[in-house]
C-alpha cells in the first residue's frame, strides 16, 4: 500500500500498542526504523526487523532527543520522517487533577512534541525535506472534562502543529496531524478496567485496531500526502457525529 523504501523514520512512544504497530508496518513498507521509547525499545526493534534500531528516549529530555537523533543519523543517515506518537494520560477534571500530573501530561504531550520537531528539523533539512506526523486525539477536538490535562495538551498541539507547518514549509518539511478515535490500547481504559469513552452507540461501535490508525499515520507521512501540510486527519469512527440515539 505504501512504499517507504530507503526512508529513515523515527517513532516515539514505540513501546506502546500503536507505536509497535507503526514500527512493524513502516519496516514492512521498506523503511529504516528508529524505535524510540523509555523502555522495551530493543524489543520493538527486534519485532520490526533487521533495518530497525531501538533507542532510549524520554521525549521531555532535550539531551535524549539530541542523542536519539544522532544515533539515528549514525546508523541510517538524515531522518526523513518523524512520528510524534508518545503520550501520557491522567484522568481528572479541573478541580481534581493533581498539579504535578497536569504538568507531566503537558510536558510529555506538548513539550515533548516541540522538542522532537526542534531535534529533527536540521536532519530533515540535510535530507532535502521530510514529513512530521503529530498523533493527536479526539480529545483535541471536543470537550473532555475528565481528561482536562490530556485535552488541554491535545488542543495546544493543534496550534503547535500549524505553527511548525508554516515555519518549516520553505524547508520542504510537511507537518500534519492525525486525530484517532478510541484505539484498543491500555490508554482506552480506566484503572478499574472500564472504558474511558464508551463507543457502543457510535456510528462505528467499536474501538479502532492500532493497524487501522497506523494506516492513516503512514498516509500522512507518505508521498501520497505530499500536497498536504498543516492538515488534520480525523479517524474517529464517527465520534464527532455524536451518539446515534
Distance CA 160, CA 134 (A): 10
The pLDDT tens digits along the chain (245 residues) read: 799 999 999 999 999 999 999 999 999 999 999 999 999 999 999 999 999 999 999 999 999 999 999 999 999 999 999 999 999 999 999 999 999 999 999 999 999 999 999 999 999 999 999 999 999 999 999 988 899 999 999 999 999 999 999 999 999 999 999 999 999 988 788 789 888 788 989 999 999 999 999 999 999 999 999 999 999 999 999 999 999 98
Q: Kindly list the domain boundaries of the chain, sorted by start residue.
A: 8-238
**Catalytic annotation on 150?**
yes
Out of 3.90.1150.10, 3.40.640.10, 3.40.440.10, 3.40.50.720, the CATH code matching 8-238 is: 3.40.50.720
Within the chain, how many helices (H) and strands (E) appear? 7, 7
List the catalytic residue out of 41, 150, 189, 239: 150
| CA angle (164 as vertex; 161, 167 as ends), nearest 5 | 150
Q: Is the dihedral of CA 53, 56, 61, 64 positive or negative?
A: negative
Closest CA to 117 of 74, 48, 166: 166
> Does the pTM of the predicted model rise above 0.85?
yes
CB 168 within 8 A of CB 151: no
Amino acid at each position: 500500500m505504501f512504499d517507504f523504501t530507503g526512508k529513515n523514520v523515527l517513532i516515539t512512544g514505540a513501546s506502546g500498542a500503536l507505536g509497535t504497530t507503526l514500527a512493524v508496518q513502516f519496516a514492512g513498507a521498506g523503511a529504516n526504523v528508529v524505535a524510540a521509547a523509555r523502555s522495551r525499545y530493543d524489543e520493538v526493534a527486534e519485532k520490526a526487523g533487521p533495518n530497525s534500531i531501538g533507542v532510549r528516549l524520554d521525549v521531555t529530555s532535550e539531551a535524549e532527543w539530541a542523542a536519539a537523533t544522532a544515533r539515528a543519523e549514525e546508523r541510517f543517515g538524515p531522518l526523513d520522517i518523524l512520528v510524534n506518537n508518545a503520550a501520557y494520560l491522567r484522568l481528572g477534571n479541573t478541580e481534581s487533577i493533581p498539579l504535578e500530573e497536569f504538568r507531566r501530561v503537558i510536558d510529555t504531550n506538548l513539550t515533548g512534541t516541540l522538542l522532537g520537531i526542534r531535534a529533527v528539523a536540521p536532519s530533515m533539512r540535510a535530507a532535502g525535506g521530510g514529513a512530521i506526523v503529530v498523533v493527536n486525539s479526539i480529545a483535541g477536538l471536543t470537550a473532555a472534562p475528565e481528561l482536562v490535562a490530556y485535552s488541554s495538551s491535545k488542543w495546544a498541539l493543534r496550534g503547535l502543529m500549524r505553527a511548525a507547518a508554516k515555519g518549516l514549509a520553505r524547508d520542504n518539511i510537511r507537518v500534519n496531524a492525525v486525530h484517532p478515535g478510541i484505539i484498543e490500547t491500555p490508554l482506552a481504559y480506566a484503572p478499574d478496567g472500564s472504558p474511558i469513552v464508551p463507543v457502543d452507540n457510535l456510528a462505528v461501535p467499536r474501538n479502532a485496531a492500532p493497524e487501522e490508525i497506523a494506516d492513516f499515520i503512514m498516509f500522512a507521512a507518505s508521498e501520497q500526502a505530499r500536497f498536504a501540510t498543516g492538515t488534520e486527519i480525523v479517524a474517529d469512527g464517527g465520534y464527532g457525529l455524536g451518539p446515534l440515539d
